[in-house]
A and B are shown apart, each in its own frame.
Chain A
Amino acid sequence: MLDKFQLKLKSWIIVSAAVLFCVAPTACTEKKEEADTASSRKLAIQNAGSDTMVNLAQAWAEEYITFNPSVSVEVSGGGSGTGIAALINGTVDIVNCSRQMDPQEMDKARLNTGKEPREFVVGYDALAVYIHKDNPLNEITIEQLAEIYGENGKFIKWSQLGIRHTGCASDEIILVSRQSNSGTYHFFREALLGRQRDFKLGTRDLHGSKDVVELVGRTPCAIGYSGMGYATEHVKMLKVIKTAGETAYRPSLETALNGTYPIARPLYMYTSGEPAGEIRNYLEWIYSDMGQKIVEDIGYVPLPREDRVKVLKHLETLSR
């Protein structure tokens, strides 16, 4: 009886597997055709540029499809420079930029396309420097951070920073970093060391913003960097000083926004001339609560309400 049942079960499994094999490929091709016909009807916005922003841009694009199914946003990375080059050549609708366009680039774009590039700040990127809560250090300068994290940097002991860290018997600074192709890693490296210098070898490279904070919270000797939203009660956020002698600032939405916190930068989008039609609508959506919520979800700093209202008012005057 049992054998018979098992046999039956087996044959069912085989049959269903066979059906799956036969059906699956055809199902896929049908879907593709559907997508092809749909895209011919759809308007596509070309969005390229910064690798740092590519996750954010992708998240926006995916969410916008559900908000407005008739428009698809095609996102690609390649770096801010690549994106700006595309804007100059007129092959892209919106450029993502993690830096401001310089005047020469502006001139070129004006000359080539006959339109003035328009700048939109769509969010901010700020990184907090974390240490264990028992560490007596409260503030740090960018130069000190560079000596701690940079290749051939001279700070390897906490005492070299002029503190006595009793919780850390070995006195060794344990560097916690991110895996080398993370955008956070690149931004932090550039903010500290510029483009020419690399991090020290031997940093503990973790695979997520949350993991960094988690490890620092459990390791008295550690120092690490991560988005400021990840703070827990086991860690302390350091105040950061731009150059020695200046005031130290805690990372917060405000200090990131007014530029006093040094490891923060605005994230830009550029359009060729004033945005119109669907491009305008897309930007308007990015400045909406829904779009800014995604900025926060990805780990960046959303814009303050008054800034958004200003831009939205301006967008209101443009043709839909």
Chain B
Amino acid sequence: MINRHRLETLTEPIIEGVIRLCGISSIIFVFGIFFFVFQEGAGFLFSELDVVEFLTSPEWYPTSVSHKRYGVLALIAGTAGVTVLAMMIAVPFGLGSAIFVSEFCTPKIKEAFKIIIELLAAIPSVVWGFIGLTMMNELIIEVFDAPIGLTVLNGGIILALMSVPIIVSIGEDSLKAVPDDYREAAEALGATRWQIIYRVLLPAAKNGLLAAVLLGIARAIGETMAVLMATGHAVKIPTSPLDSVRTLTATIAAELGEAPVNSDHYQVLFLIGALLFTITFFVNLIADLIVKGIRQK
């Protein structure tokens, strides 16, 4: 017994140290990645790049022979368009099913439901992209009589399906965290089920639900392969959901492989990476602050 105790006093600090290292390492990785991405593009940013043109011009001609132009406005608009549409679809569906799972299900159905939703999250994005490129393309052409089905709508629906599982599972957790006392008190006052949800549960869980939505947005902004295939990959500021667009992520994925290392084009692609990193960082930061808000309550 004494021997064993000694062994534990010896191993305890080692394990503690290892765990501490793991914790710190993720911070180092995040900053390391940002530093690397930014550093690859920094040379061009500080020398030749016209930052105003970079952010406000919709003309993206990275491989033109006569006149190279690096404007990412259309790409930002594409990312924003697809993400907004995805959220317009995913938020009602996601929050709706979170409420259903947490408030209206018998435990058995709840289990089955959660497994199926998690299965939805397990489908690889290439498969989603392929569905967009083939099935959804034809469907949209037929239903909307559009000239082409690779559009904001196509990408938005696919991204919505991809971010619904995140919204459901986090939304459901935050609804579950609302104490049963609230429900019982509301019921004692004679509230109907809908009134309980609308007047009591949603306000009580609003921080958690907001965090769920923000994480869904981060997922949608960062998605690459599915949008590359489903949105048509066309440099264009969308004016309707039936326009083709191109997103920031898809541009990097499509062009980085063949851009000569350290060329202007290569560096601009890394700057787009840094831009994306900044966008998702802020979305995650906001989500984090909101989640923290819940904990303090």
Question: Hey, which bits of chain A sit against chain B, CB under 8 A?
Answer: 168-170, 172, 174, 179-182, 185-186, 195-198, 201-207, 211, 214-215, 218-222
Given contacts A170-B146, A201-B60, whether A196 and B234 have CB atoms under 8 Å apart is no
Query: B234 and A180: CB pair below 8 A?
Result: no
B74 and A170 within 8 A (CB): no
Q: How far is A96 from B280 in the complex, measured between Cα atoms in Å?
A: 44
Q: Does residue B6 face the partner (Cβ distance < 8 Å to A)?
A: no
Q: Flag whether B216 is at the interface (Cβ < 8 A).
A: no
Q: Which of B97-105, B137-145, B193-201 participates in binding chain A?
A: B137-145
Q: Which residue of B is nearest A186, CB measured?
A: B63
B258 touches A201 (CB 8 A): no
Name 27 interchain pairs, CB-CB below 8 A, sorted by A. A168-B147, A170-B146, A170-B147, A172-B147, A174-B147, A174-B148, A179-B258, A180-B63, A181-B63, A181-B258, A198-B66, A198-B67, A201-B59, A201-B60, A201-B74, A202-B234, A204-B150, A204-B234, A205-B233, A205-B254, A211-B133, A214-B133, A214-B134, A215-B150, A219-B137, A220-B147, A221-B148
Contact: B228 with A196, CB < 8 Å? no
Residues of B within 8 A of A181 (CB): 62-63, 255, 258-259, 265
- Give CA–CA (A152, B106) in the complex, Å: 62
Q: A201-B234, A204-B234 are in contact. List 6 more A-B contacts (CB 8 A).
A: A201-B60, A204-B150, A205-B233, A205-B254, A218-B138, A219-B149
Cβ contacts B40-70/A at 8 Å (1 or 0 each):
0000000000000000001111111111000
Q: Does B244 contact A (CB under 8 A)?
A: yes
A128 CB to closest chain B CB, in angstroms?
20
CA distance A218 to B149 in the complex (A): 9
**CA of A201 to CA of B59, assembled, Å:** 7
Residue of A nearest to B254 (CB): A179
B150 touches A221 (CB 8 A): no
Question: How far does the alpha carbon of A203 sit from the alpha carbon of B236 in the complex, in Å?
Answer: 9
Closest chain B residue to A168, Cβ basis: B147
Tally A-B pairs: CB < 8 A. 84
Chain B's closest residue to A169 (CB) is B145
Contact B65 A180 (CB under 8 A): no
Size class of the contact patch on chain B? 35 or more
Tell which of B235, B254, B265 touches A201, judged by Cβ atoms closer than 8 Å: B235
Bound Cα distance from A97 to B175, whole angstroms: 66
The 8 Å CB contact of B62, one of A180, A195, A211, is A180
Partner of A202, one of B61, B62, B150, B236: B236
Query: Is B155 an interface residue, CB under 8 A from the partner?
Result: no
B223-264 contacts to A (CB < 8 Å): 228, 232-236, 244, 246, 254-255, 258-259
In angstroms, how far is the closest chain B Cβ from the Cβ of A249?
Answer: 27
Q: For residue A180, which residues in chain B have a CB less than 8 angstroms away from its CB?
A: 61-63, 255
Are A198 and B233 in contact (CB-based, < 8 A)? no
On chain A, the residues within 8 Å of B148 by CB distance are 174, 204, 219, 221-222
How distant is the Cα of A185 from the Cα of B137 in the complex, in angstroms? 24
CB of B252 to closest CB in A, whole Å: 11
Name the residue on A nearest B74 (C-beta): A201
CB A150 to nearest CB in B, in angstroms, measures: 12
Give Cα distance in the complex from A204 to B66, angstroms: 22
* A205 contacts B246, C-beta separation under 8 Å: yes
- Give the residue among A168, A169, A203, A219 with the most B Cβ atoms within 10 A: A219
Bound CA–CA A201/B243 (angstroms): 13
Contacts A169-B145, A198-B67; A179 near B137 (Cβ below 8 A):
no
| Complex alpha-carbon distance, A186 and B148, angstroms | 25
Q: Which residues of A contact B66 (CB under 8 A)?
A: 195-198
Q: How far is the CB of B75 from chain A (nearest CB, A)?
A: 11
Report the minimal beta-carbon distance from A58 to chain B, rounded to whole angstroms: 13
Q: Is the CB of B137 within 8 A of A218?
A: yes
B101-151, CB < 8 A from A: 133-134, 137-138, 141, 145-150
- Please give the distance in Å from B296's CB to the nearest CB on chain A: 38
- Asked, given contacts A170-B147, A205-B246, whether A219 binds B141 with beta carbons under 8 Å apart, the answer is yes
> Is there an interface contact between A219 and B255, defined as CB atoms closer than 8 Å?
no
Query: In the assembly, what is the distance between CA of A169 and CA of B258, in Å?
Result: 37
10 nearest A-B pairs in the assembled complex, by CB-CB distance: A181-B258, A221-B147, A202-B236, A180-B63, A204-B232, A170-B147, A179-B254, A205-B233, A172-B147, A196-B66
Which residues in A have their C-beta under 8 angstroms from that of B146? 170
Min CB–CB distance A99 → chain B (angstroms): 14
Q: Report the bound CA distance from A215 to B229 in whole Å.
A: 11
CA gap between A186 and B61 in the complex, in Å: 12
